[in-house]
A and B are shown apart, each in its own frame.
Chain A
Amino acid sequence: DQQVKQNSPSLSVQEGRISILNCDYTNSMFDYFLWYKKYPAEGPTFLISISSIKDKNEDGRFTVFLNKSAKHLSLHIVPSQPGDSAVYFCAASGNNFNKFYFGSGTKLNVKP
Protein backbone atom coordinates (compact mmCIF):
# COMPACT_ATOMS: atom_id res chain seq x y z
CA ASP A 1 0.00 0.00 0.00
CA GLN A 2 2.44 2.65 -1.23
CA GLN A 3 -0.07 5.33 -2.11
CA VAL A 4 2.20 8.12 -0.93
CA LYS A 5 5.91 7.94 -1.58
CA GLN A 6 8.85 10.00 -0.51
CA ASN A 7 11.76 8.62 -2.44
CA SER A 8 14.51 10.58 -0.72
CA PRO A 9 15.14 9.28 2.79
CA SER A 10 17.47 12.17 3.56
CA LEU A 11 18.50 15.60 2.38
CA SER A 12 21.32 17.83 3.51
CA VAL A 13 21.25 21.57 2.83
CA GLN A 14 23.38 24.53 3.84
CA GLU A 15 21.79 27.14 6.07
CA GLY A 16 20.25 29.95 4.03
CA ARG A 17 19.76 27.82 0.93
CA ILE A 18 16.53 26.31 -0.35
CA SER A 19 15.36 22.89 0.78
CA ILE A 20 13.10 20.99 -1.61
CA LEU A 21 11.33 17.92 -0.36
CA ASN A 22 9.41 15.80 -2.81
CA CYS A 23 6.40 13.53 -2.57
CA ASP A 24 4.55 11.41 -5.13
CA TYR A 25 1.16 9.80 -4.87
CA THR A 26 -0.77 7.26 -6.87
CA ASN A 27 -4.40 7.79 -5.90
CA SER A 28 -6.11 10.42 -8.04
CA MET A 29 -8.95 10.57 -5.51
CA PHE A 30 -6.81 12.36 -2.94
CA ASP A 31 -8.14 15.85 -2.31
CA TYR A 32 -5.89 17.20 0.39
CA PHE A 33 -2.19 17.04 0.93
CA LEU A 34 -0.36 17.90 4.07
CA TRP A 35 3.18 18.23 5.28
CA TYR A 36 4.15 17.33 8.80
CA LYS A 37 7.39 17.94 10.61
CA LYS A 38 8.64 15.53 13.23
CA TYR A 39 11.39 15.93 15.78
CA PRO A 40 12.78 12.90 17.63
CA ALA A 41 10.65 11.75 20.57
CA GLU A 42 7.74 13.95 19.48
CA GLY A 43 4.62 13.41 17.42
CA PRO A 44 4.29 14.88 13.93
CA THR A 45 3.37 18.57 13.83
CA PHE A 46 1.24 19.99 11.04
CA LEU A 47 3.18 22.37 8.84
CA ILE A 48 1.26 23.31 5.73
CA SER A 49 -1.44 21.92 3.47
CA ILE A 50 -2.83 22.26 -0.01
CA SER A 51 -6.11 21.20 -1.55
CA SER A 52 -6.37 19.68 -4.98
CA ILE A 53 -7.99 22.80 -6.41
CA LYS A 54 -4.82 24.79 -5.89
CA ASP A 55 -1.31 24.41 -7.23
CA LYS A 56 0.51 26.49 -4.65
CA ASN A 57 0.16 27.46 -1.02
CA GLU A 58 2.57 29.64 0.85
CA ASP A 59 3.09 30.24 4.55
CA GLY A 60 6.13 32.25 5.47
CA ARG A 61 9.26 30.35 4.53
CA PHE A 62 7.25 27.30 3.52
CA THR A 63 5.62 26.80 0.12
CA VAL A 64 3.92 23.68 -1.12
CA PHE A 65 3.47 23.08 -4.84
CA LEU A 66 1.04 20.57 -6.29
CA ASN A 67 1.23 19.13 -9.78
CA LYS A 68 -1.92 17.06 -10.15
CA SER A 69 -1.17 15.76 -13.60
CA ALA A 70 2.14 14.38 -12.37
CA LYS A 71 0.70 13.37 -8.98
CA HIS A 72 3.57 15.15 -7.37
CA LEU A 73 3.95 17.68 -4.63
CA SER A 74 6.91 19.41 -3.14
CA LEU A 75 7.70 21.45 -0.08
CA HIS A 76 10.10 24.35 -0.44
CA ILE A 77 11.74 25.88 2.58
CA VAL A 78 13.59 29.10 1.96
CA PRO A 79 15.78 30.18 3.56
CA SER A 80 16.54 26.96 5.41
CA GLN A 81 17.50 27.23 9.06
CA PRO A 82 19.22 24.73 11.37
CA GLY A 83 16.00 24.51 13.41
CA ASP A 84 14.30 23.09 10.33
CA SER A 85 16.33 19.90 10.75
CA ALA A 86 13.71 17.21 11.29
CA VAL A 87 11.89 14.44 9.48
CA TYR A 88 9.26 15.73 7.06
CA PHE A 89 6.25 13.60 6.20
CA CYS A 90 3.93 14.10 3.29
CA ALA A 91 0.34 12.92 3.84
CA ALA A 92 -2.79 12.72 1.71
CA SER A 93 -6.48 12.28 2.28
CA GLY A 94 -9.76 12.11 0.46
CA ASN A 95 -12.40 14.72 1.22
CA ASN A 96 -13.81 12.86 4.20
CA PHE A 97 -10.58 13.16 6.23
CA ASN A 98 -11.28 9.81 7.85
CA LYS A 99 -8.04 8.28 6.68
CA PHE A 100 -4.67 9.79 6.00
CA TYR A 101 -1.89 8.14 4.05
CA PHE A 102 1.64 9.06 4.99
CA GLY A 103 4.89 8.81 3.10
CA SER A 104 7.98 7.29 4.67
CA GLY A 105 9.51 10.66 5.49
CA THR A 106 12.58 12.63 4.46
CA LYS A 107 15.14 13.52 7.07
CA LEU A 108 16.31 17.08 6.47
CA ASN A 109 19.62 18.23 7.89
CA VAL A 110 20.32 21.95 7.63
CA LYS A 111 23.98 22.61 8.23
CA PRO A 112 25.03 25.88 9.88
Chain B
Amino acid sequence: EIVLTQSPGTLPLSPGERATLSCRTSQSISSTSLAWYQQKPGQAPRLLIYAASSRATGIPDRFSGSGSGTDFTLTISRLEPEDFAVYYCQQTNNVQYTYTFGQGTKLEIK
Protein backbone atom coordinates (compact mmCIF):
# COMPACT_ATOMS: atom_id res chain seq x y z
CA GLU B 1 0.00 0.00 0.00
CA ILE B 2 1.28 3.44 -0.94
CA VAL B 3 1.25 5.94 1.91
CA LEU B 4 0.78 9.65 1.27
CA THR B 5 2.38 12.05 3.74
CA GLN B 6 1.34 15.69 3.59
CA SER B 7 3.30 18.51 5.13
CA PRO B 8 3.05 20.68 6.98
CA GLY B 9 0.07 19.60 9.04
CA THR B 10 -0.91 23.22 9.54
CA LEU B 11 0.25 26.20 7.51
CA PRO B 12 -0.44 29.67 8.92
CA LEU B 13 -0.27 32.33 6.26
CA SER B 14 -1.80 35.70 5.45
CA PRO B 15 -3.95 36.67 2.48
CA GLY B 16 -1.78 37.68 -0.42
CA GLU B 17 1.01 35.30 0.53
CA ARG B 18 2.14 32.25 -1.42
CA ALA B 19 1.28 28.79 -0.10
CA THR B 20 3.30 25.67 -0.84
CA LEU B 21 1.83 22.35 0.26
CA SER B 22 3.70 19.07 -0.02
CA CYS B 23 2.54 15.51 -0.65
CA ARG B 24 5.11 12.74 -0.54
CA THR B 25 4.37 9.16 -1.52
CA SER B 26 6.05 6.11 -0.02
CA GLN B 27 6.99 4.88 -3.46
CA SER B 28 7.26 6.40 -6.89
CA ILE B 29 3.96 6.89 -8.68
CA SER B 30 2.80 8.03 -12.07
CA SER B 31 1.97 11.71 -12.21
CA THR B 32 -1.39 10.83 -13.76
CA SER B 33 -2.45 9.22 -10.51
CA LEU B 34 -2.12 12.24 -8.20
CA ALA B 35 -4.95 14.67 -7.42
CA TRP B 36 -5.56 17.52 -4.98
CA TYR B 37 -8.80 18.51 -3.22
CA GLN B 38 -9.91 21.46 -1.11
CA GLN B 39 -12.36 21.02 1.75
CA LYS B 40 -13.99 23.79 3.74
CA PRO B 41 -15.75 23.15 7.07
CA GLY B 42 -19.07 21.41 6.66
CA GLN B 43 -18.61 20.98 2.93
CA ALA B 44 -17.69 18.18 0.59
CA PRO B 45 -14.21 18.16 -0.91
CA ARG B 46 -13.72 19.96 -4.22
CA LEU B 47 -11.40 18.73 -6.93
CA LEU B 48 -8.64 21.24 -7.66
CA ILE B 49 -5.93 19.40 -9.59
CA TYR B 50 -5.75 16.03 -11.34
CA ALA B 51 -2.85 14.28 -13.05
CA ALA B 52 -0.55 16.24 -10.73
CA SER B 53 -0.76 19.49 -12.69
CA SER B 54 -4.07 19.77 -14.58
CA ARG B 55 -6.54 22.24 -13.11
CA ALA B 56 -10.11 21.06 -12.81
CA THR B 57 -12.90 22.99 -14.47
CA GLY B 58 -13.51 26.37 -12.89
CA ILE B 59 -10.43 26.35 -10.67
CA PRO B 60 -8.62 29.72 -10.61
CA ASP B 61 -5.15 29.82 -12.10
CA ARG B 62 -3.62 30.85 -8.78
CA PHE B 63 -3.81 27.11 -7.99
CA SER B 64 -1.10 25.01 -9.59
CA GLY B 65 0.24 21.52 -9.10
CA SER B 66 3.63 20.08 -9.86
CA GLY B 67 5.90 17.19 -9.08
CA SER B 68 6.83 13.69 -10.08
CA GLY B 69 8.05 10.43 -8.61
CA THR B 70 7.45 10.70 -4.88
CA ASP B 71 7.28 14.47 -4.38
CA PHE B 72 4.28 16.55 -5.36
CA THR B 73 3.38 20.15 -4.59
CA LEU B 74 0.25 22.25 -4.60
CA THR B 75 0.98 25.95 -4.87
CA ILE B 76 -1.44 28.80 -4.32
CA SER B 77 0.29 31.82 -5.78
CA ARG B 78 -1.54 34.56 -3.90
CA LEU B 79 -3.92 33.56 -1.14
CA GLU B 80 -7.46 34.81 -1.17
CA PRO B 81 -9.61 34.73 1.99
CA GLU B 82 -11.67 31.87 0.56
CA ASP B 83 -8.58 29.67 0.13
CA PHE B 84 -8.20 28.97 3.83
CA ALA B 85 -9.30 25.36 4.12
CA VAL B 86 -7.97 21.83 4.39
CA TYR B 87 -6.19 20.37 1.38
CA TYR B 88 -5.87 16.67 0.59
CA CYS B 89 -3.76 14.84 -1.94
CA GLN B 90 -5.04 11.56 -3.32
CA GLN B 91 -3.38 8.77 -5.23
CA THR B 92 -4.91 6.13 -7.50
CA ASN B 93 -3.29 2.71 -7.54
CA ASN B 94 -4.00 1.44 -11.04
CA VAL B 95 -2.66 -2.02 -10.25
CA GLN B 96 -4.70 -2.74 -7.14
CA TYR B 97 -7.56 -0.42 -8.13
CA THR B 98 -7.48 1.40 -4.82
CA TYR B 99 -7.50 5.03 -3.83
CA THR B 100 -5.59 6.64 -0.97
CA PHE B 101 -5.81 10.10 0.59
CA GLY B 102 -3.19 11.96 2.54
CA GLN B 103 -3.92 13.15 6.05
CA GLY B 104 -4.47 16.73 4.94
CA THR B 105 -2.86 20.14 5.38
CA LYS B 106 -4.86 22.83 7.13
CA LEU B 107 -4.22 26.24 5.65
CA GLU B 108 -5.14 28.78 8.31
CA ILE B 109 -5.13 32.54 8.55
CA LYS B 110 -2.10 33.89 10.37
A and B associate in one complex:
no
